[in-house]
Amino acid sequence: MDNKDTGSCCQPDSKADTDQFIRMIDLNRNSHAPVIRETTSTISFRDRSDHFLARLGVNRMGHIVEPGIYRLGNPDADSPVFVSANYTLSFDALRSSLAGIDCYILVIDTKGINVWCAAGKGTFGTAEIVYRIRWSGLSDIIKHRNIILPQLSAPGVSAHEVRRLSGFNVEYGPVRARDLPEYLKTHTATPEMRRVRFTFRERLVLTPIELTHIVLPTLIAALILYLLAGPFAAFIAILIAFTGAVLFPVLYPFIPTQDFSTKGLILGAIVTIPFAATIAAGSELLLWERIVAVLTTFLLTASVTAYLALNFTGCTTHTSRTGVKKEIFRYVPLMALMAVTGMLLLIILGITRLMEVI
Amino acid sequence: MFDSYNENTLQYYPEKCINCLMCTQVCPHGVFTGGGEHVELKRPSSCMECGACAMNCPVQAIEVQSGVGCAWAMIRAALRGKDMDSADCCCNGDSC
């Protein structure tokens, strides 16, 4: 039989620590231990469409894999065990990278959140791993006492605590699942495998979700601007949203300042130039109106882009909390001042034009 | 003045280090490298305060106030009158 029911094997563990721990976190629920499920390395069309929807943020918390033990290939009692988050993108990245490798995958419950974020929250953590090792009856399935975790789970997992509480030795694999075949040859990762990058492609795949976040506020802003200042202003609003949600994530490493806020101010100002030039060259407005209109455009676009840029910090792979907090105190007051000044000028312009019409 | 990221809360006490190299394995930004007697703090300003090194240091030779550097969550927490440091956020990044 391929499926081995480990539900009945609830004999006391030799590790007194584990028992104490299980009681402490109230997990001894006599719940049925899971059957071992089968999985493959093949990513089907259905998986791909699921990935696509996940990228778009559709049914955000619904891209979930059932926690438990999965067999990949024909593993035996000496086969390696990999631990994965129960987010489909994480699980699929792992299993598709393990093509041709006979192994077990222990999927833990991270509430459908990817490895790194779950580790940051603590759901991909020591307690969950120790519990899932016990719950799945892993020690009866394999002879060795070694589990391989993704490196990015380390912020939530204490390897020496897992060993103390479960008897299992934690080995941190590489950051990226696709480096696993190379890693498994020697069980050591090169410095490059240990480093997180934030490549052009990685930044690009984040942009759809950035866009979906700001669609509604953008449409509202565009409508208000359309009523206040016409279709040209409404178009600028949409362009700024695009700049903040797509251009900024893709281009920010090339903007030569360190802080996200200043990067955003610069990008916002650059994007505004053609519009400012169009306004300045227009003849239907008086000179002072043109100056105010150009100033307004710069103030509003630069401040909004800077704010969107600052908010992108959470999606990057390298900003520290200390630094982001410093940015907030340093630049948010400036952004607010710029935005308020810009809006006042816009209202003044709108009223003047209304008076002219009357 | 225009680099908010040159300082952070990472503290390393080399005299406690037992040279197990766990921090060099878990750090995603190569902040620590293997040295002779103990691990070297090579690139402290690259630290993003994820806390992986401190979590996996068996002798508490590393301290860091870990947290997610997410402006969106921190601003939201501040607006709701909550502690900015308690904020956590999760975007759809899937580096793994």
Q: At what angle do helices A16-24 and A126-136 cross, to 10 degrees?
A: 110
Distance separating alpha carbons of residues A204 and B82, to the nearest angstrom: 32
Distance separating alpha carbons of residues B21 and B26, to the nearest angstrom: 9
Whether residues B93 and A114 touch (CB distance < 8 A) is answered with yes
Residue B57, SS3?
coil
- Whether B59 has its CB under 8 Å from any CB of chain A: the answer is no
Distance separating alpha carbons of residues A216 and A130, to the nearest angstrom: 43
Amino acid at A162: V
Of A323-332, A342-351, B86-95, the range with the highest mean pLDDT is A323-332
Pairwise pLDDT comparison (A15 vs A101), residue with the higher score: A101
Q: In which band, very low, low, confident or very high, does the pLDDT at B86 lie, cut at 50, 70 and 90?
A: low
Across the interface, of A191, A318, A325, the residue whose CB is closest to B48 is A318
Note the CATH number of domain B10-80.
3.30.70.20
Whether residues A114 and B85 touch (CB distance < 8 A) is answered with no
Pick from B24, B8, B19, B12: nearest CA to B65: B8
Pick from B47, B23, B72: nearest CA to A308: B72
Amino acid at A188: T
Instruction: Supply the DSSP string of A270-288, one letter for each residue.
Output: HHHHHHHHHHHH-SSS-HH
- Residue located via tokens 């952004």: A335
The pLDDT of residue B71 is above 60? yes
| Neighbouring residues of A79: CB distance < 8 A, sequence distance ≥ 6 | A102, A103, A104, A142
Distance separating alpha carbons of residues A88 and A58, to the nearest angstrom: 13
The pLDDT of residue A11 is above 50? no
H helix or E strand, kind and range, residue B53: helix B52-55
Distance separating alpha carbons of residues A38 and A42, to the nearest angstrom: 12
The pLDDT of residue B41 is above 70? yes
H helix or E strand, kind and range, residue A309: helix A287-311
For residue A119, give both structure tokens. Answer: 């580790």
Model ipTM? 0.89
Confirm if A196 and B29 have CB atoms less than 8 A apart.
yes
What region, left, alpha or beta, does residue A100 occupy, with left being phi > 0 and alpha being psi -120 to 50 degrees?
left
Whether residues B8 and A320 touch (CB distance < 8 A) is answered with yes
The alpha carbon of A171 is separated from its chain's Cα centroid by a whole number of angstroms, namely: 24
pLDDT tens sequence across B19-29: 999 999 999 99
Residue B33, SS3?
strand
pLDDT tens sequence across A52-101: 888 877 777 778 899 999 999 999 999 999 999 999 999 999 999 999 99
Mean pLDDT within A285-312: 91
Distance separating alpha carbons of residues B23 and A224, to the nearest angstrom: 52
Domain ranges of chain B: 10-80
- Determine the pLDDT at residue A295: 93
Instruction: Give the up-direction half-sphere exposure of residue A254: CA atoms within 13 A in the CB hemisphere.
Output: 9
Across the interface, of B8, B71, B95, the residue whose CB is closest to A322 is B8
Confirm if A238 and A218 have CB atoms less than 8 A apart.
yes
- Whether B37 has its CB under 8 Å from any CB of chain A: the answer is no
- Whether A306 has its CB under 8 Å from any CB of chain B: the answer is no
